[in-house]
Amino acid sequence: MTAILYSFRRCPYAMRARLALDASDQQVELREIKLRAKPDAFLAVSASGTVPCLDLPDGPIDESLDIMRWALTRNDPGAWLDLPSEGWDLIATADGPFKQALDQTKYSSRHPDLDPAVPRGKAHVFLADLNAHLATQDKTWIYGRPTLADFAILPFVRQFAFVDKALFDAQEWPSLHGWLDRFLSSPAFERIMIRPDPWKPSDPPIFFP
């Protein structure tokens, strides 16, 4: 049985799952989900009802980082899992305080009592620190070469950047801008951003990568 990945093209969590599957060459059947009309087959597998969800013969994996680990422990030609322990701490910060600030900035209408400048400022602190860290390396990757830290975080930085791209571009973050731009122009990004139609049970399978 081929593993099935329930995904949503623009979701940063689903993006990073697809990035790891692509990097590890772990082929899955890709099923694009319409979030406003989730199919019963997806809801029967995903306990959380969120993407990504990897349906395996021995049970589903419902968290994007766990999907990344699953793929890379099977094949990790780029040694993405070879990162210092602080890399996991950085991912946790990105997934926690930065993601919260990102959501409060992007969906400010859901937080009418919160000044949008406050979460944006918190996000900017994280991004400025990341820019400073990149500047101490080779201005290419967080730890000098591609690791899980880069590709677990980049989809969320991309999402924040496009909340207000002009404002993002105006910040004095040259290393961070270069890091994101290289990602957005990479063949890997192009591969993971294919545009499948929302999945229906009658559809023939789409395999990825």
Give the pLDDT of residue 195. Answer: 96
Could you give the domains of the chain? 4-78+194-208 (3.40.30.10), 85-189 (1.20.1050.10)
Give the pLDDT of residue 111. Answer: 81
* 2 pLDDT above the threshold of 90: no
* 113 pLDDT above the threshold of 90: no
- Paired tokens of 186: 């990479």
Tens digit of pLDDT for each residue in 32-83? 999 999 999 999 999 899 999 999 999 999 999 999 999 999 999 999 999 9
pLDDT confidence of 109, banded at 50, 70, 90?
A: confident
Q: Give the span between the Cα atoms of 84 and 71, in whole angstroms.
A: 19
Q: Strand 4-7 to strand 53-55: parallel, antiparallel, or no bridges (unpaired)?
A: antiparallel
- Whether the CB-CB separation of 36 and 72 falls below 8 Å is answered with no
* 130 pLDDT above the threshold of 90: yes
* 149 pLDDT above the threshold of 80: yes
- Whether the CB-CB separation of 183 and 154 falls below 8 Å is answered with yes
Tens digit of pLDDT for each residue in 18-32? 999 999 999 999 999
